[in-house]
Structure formats: C-alpha cells, structure tokens
Amino acid sequence: MTGFTSDEMMTIAAARALKNDDVCFVGIGAPSAACNVARLTHAPDITLIYESGTIGTAPEVLPLSIGDGELCETAVTTVSVPEMFRYWLQGGRISVGFLGAAQLDRFGNINTTVIGDYHQPKVRLPGGGGAPEIASSCGEIFITMKQSKRGLVDKIDFFTSFGHGEGGHARERLGLRTKGPTLLITDLAIWKPDPETKEFTVTSLHPGVTREAVQETCGWQVRFAAGLTETPAPTALELDTLRALKARTAAAHGGQEVA
C-alpha cells in the first residue's frame, strides 16, 4: 500500500459503513475514530451516543474514555446511565452499535473479559462494560479490530458479548430480535456474515492485501465470497480528516495514544 497505512484503511472503511441517519452507540478506541470520521465527512447528521449518557456528541478530539469531558461539552444532551440503557438502548432507539474486541470468533462472539481460564487468567481485560447489552439491543452491530491469530480465534476464552453463538438461528432461539453482528472491518479486509450459517466471510480485500495474508492472521479456515472485491482506497478528504482528528487528539491529550 502507498499513501496510507493499514490502520487508516481500516478506520476509513469502518466510517463508510455508517449512514447520515444512524443513531450509533460508540465504543472507545477504533470505533470512536471511525464514527467521528463519518460525522466529519459524509454523515454530518449522525447521532453519536456514548455509554456515559451523552447523546448527539460532536467531539473535536477522540475521547480517552466514556467519561471524557469533551463528550459532555459537545453533546446535545446528557442523560443518566440507567436512562441511557433502559430507555434508549433497550427501548430499541439505537440503530448501530460499534464495538471493538480482544478476541473474536467466526460467528462474531466477542471476548473483552479474560485471556485464559476465568479464575486463573493469563490476562485480565477491561471487561464488558455496556458491550453485552449493546450487542443484544442495538439494531445491528459493527465490529472493528486489527487482525492477528491472538485476536481472531477459533474459540474465544470467555463470552462477553453475544454475536451469533454457534451460528445459524442461535439469536432467534434465545429470543433476540436484533440482527447482531452484520459487519467486521479489520486492517486487511471487510467481512460479512453468511446469510444462513452466520459465519463471517471476507467480501472485500483492502488494496494490496492477499488472501494468504488474511488467512495467516486468522485462527480459523477463512471463507472468501464468490464475488470478492477490493476496498476502494481512502480519498484525500477521508485521510486529511482522520489525520487532523488524530493530530488534535494527540495535542489535547499530551501525546497519549488513542487507537
């Protein structure tokens, strides 16, 4: 690839998935970057909601956490966390939940709790926060993460956020009426669930990426769509917007890294 990084391609491809009329529950890190690039480019009227209760926020910099003051200062309104979850989320008023993952399996089940055995973990992760409820109650779920065999695994160590379970109609059998994960955007490709099995399938490779590179960084046997395409490269506007956002963020947070 020339002119942009794989991380920039991932963020911009994720941003493109959002529509102007979406009401989006935003995760911190890569999802937040994608959602705000969308807001600053093709989706100026998108409603961004963060777990702390901020609705319609329009931050100038990326937040380090859901409690970042920038979110409250730029929000249309701020509600209590119980109202956010009970009225807005569980009330079916949020169209898209945008999440990240530490581990992800082929059916979109997410682990952000522990690596290894729960009682004696190798690594204890930040936990679920509101992600389990987001995964169950938003109209659909988008996921963004870098590819690696540690991240894309055959079997996750802990079910933090339910995707499509063991596949097929698992969500319906549990009484979940939302779509669940409908899109996975990595630094190498775009994935969508098979309509029947719900297994994530690669539908588009980012510029310069090979099938072999995708397989080498995935812990299961990858399926590729029959009509496999190439993701359009970032435009100058998209790149300039993302880079300016990252530069403002670095300056505001004293150089602290924001994914």
CA distance 3 to 234: 9
Number of domains in the chain: 1
Region 192-213: what's the mean pLDDT? 98
Q: Are 77 and 69 in contact (CB under 8 A)?
A: no
Residue 255 pLDDT level (bands cut at 50, 70, 90): low
166 falls within a domain: yes
Q: DSSP 3-state assignment of 91?
A: coil
Q: What residue has token string 């960084």?
A: 217
Residues carrying an active site annotation:
51
Domain annotation covers residue 1: no
Cβ neighbours for 63, distance < 8 A, ≥ 6 positions apart: 28, 32, 50, 70, 71, 258
Confidence of residue 253 (pLDDT cuts 50, 70, 90): confident
Is residue 257 a part of any domain in this protein?
Answer: no
User: Who contacts 226 (Cβ-Cβ below 8 Å, separation ≥6)?
Assistant: none
Q: How large is the average pLDDT for residues 9-31? A: 95
Q: Which pLDDT does position 2 carry in this prediction? A: 57
Q: Is the pLDDT of residue 38 over 50?
A: yes
Spatial CA neighbour of 206 closest among 31, 4, 9, 37: 9
CATH number, position 216: 3.40.1080.10
Q: What is the pLDDT of residue 1?
A: 41
Residue 141 is part of which domain span? 6-252
Pairing of strands 189-193, 200-205: antiparallel
When pLDDT is cut at 50, 70 and 90, the band that residue 19 belongs to is very high
| pTM metric for this prediction | 0.93
For residue 236, being part of any structural domain is answered with yes
Q: What is the pLDDT of residues 116-142, one digit of tens each?
A: 999 999 999 989 989 999 999 999 999
Helix (H, G, I), strand (E, B) or coil at 186: coil
- Please give the mean pLDDT across all residues of the chain: 94
Q: Is the pLDDT of residue 258 over 70?
A: no
> Cα–Cα distance between 194 and 174 in angstroms, integer?
19
Q: How far apart are the first and last CA of the chain?
A: 20
Cα–Cα distance, 48 to 74 (Å, whole number): 11
Q: What is the mean pLDDT of residues 70-89?
A: 94
Percent of the chain predicted with pLDDT > 90: 90
Residue 259 lies in a domain: no
DSSP state of 100: -
Residue 118 in domain:
yes
Does residue 258 lie in a domain region? Answer: no
- Share above pLDDT 70 across residues of the chain, in percent, rounded to a whole number: 97
**pLDDT tens string 98-115:** 999 999 999 999 999 999
| Average pLDDT for 245-254 | 92
The answer as to whether 130 is a domain residue is yes
- Residue 70: band (very low, low, confident or very high) from pLDDT cuts 50, 70, 90: confident
pLDDT tens across 44-69, in order?
Answer: 999 999 999 999 999 999 998 888 88
